[in-house]
């Protein structure tokens, strides 16, 4: 990630911050609209889930300039998701819902450049999580064998 890309991400996230609760609600509504089966992964208070989502996004964006420290935490998240039966196809749906949410939240400020940088960032993080899922699966398979 370049410094300019990270700056663009941070700037757009700051613009979403005042409406973080609404953005999270939009995200989950869109996510469940795209794939109603994903509801089974979410239990409890969705407002709290939304707060956690926005905190996690903030943590990730603010950690991009220290990717060596961020990547292990993101990979660990992927390891935990392995036990929740998260599928590769879910990442596509989540990415689509997140970009849609940003588009709604930022309006005209969600430029093609902003979309491209958020897409690149999402897939960087998603691939890191998927690597963690593969780690967990491999460890499980070795333990069973």
Domain ranges of the chain: 3-140
| pLDDT digits 0-9 by tens, 97-140 | 999 999 999 999 999 999 999 999 999 999 998 888 777 777 76
| pLDDT digits 0-9 by tens, 11-40 | 999 999 999 999 999 999 999 999 999 998
CATH classification of 3-140 is 3.10.150.10, yes or no? no
Please give the C-alpha separations between residue 77 and each of 20, 69, 70, 104, in angstroms, as whole numbers: 22, 14, 11, 27
Tokens of 56: 């996690």
- Rounded CA-CA distance 94/30 in Å is 9
Helix axes 20-34, 46-63, angle to 10 degrees: 100
> Which pTM was predicted?
0.87
Query: For the chain, what is the radius of gyration of the CA atoms?
Result: 16
If pLDDT is split at 50, 70 and 90, which confidence band does 145 have? low
């Amino acid at each position: 990630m370049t410094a300019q890309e990270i700056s663009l991400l941070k700037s757009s996230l700051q613009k979403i911050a005042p409406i973080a609760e609404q953005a999270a609600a939009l995200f989950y509504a869109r996510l469940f609209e795209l794939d109603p089966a994903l509801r089974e992964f979410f239990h409890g208070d969705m407002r709290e889930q939304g707060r956690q989502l926005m905190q996690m996004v903030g943590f990730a964006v603010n950690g991009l300039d220290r990717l060596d420290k961020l990547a292990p935490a993101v990979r660990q998240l992927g390891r935990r998701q392995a036990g929740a039966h998260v599928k590769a196809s879910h990442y596509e749906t989540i990415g689509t819902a997140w970009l849609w949410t940003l588009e709604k939240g930022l309006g005209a400020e969600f430029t093609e450049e902003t979309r491209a940088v958020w897409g690149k960032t999402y897939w960087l993080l998603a691939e890191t999580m998927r690597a963690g899922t593969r780690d967990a699966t491999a460890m499980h398979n070795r333990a069973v064998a």
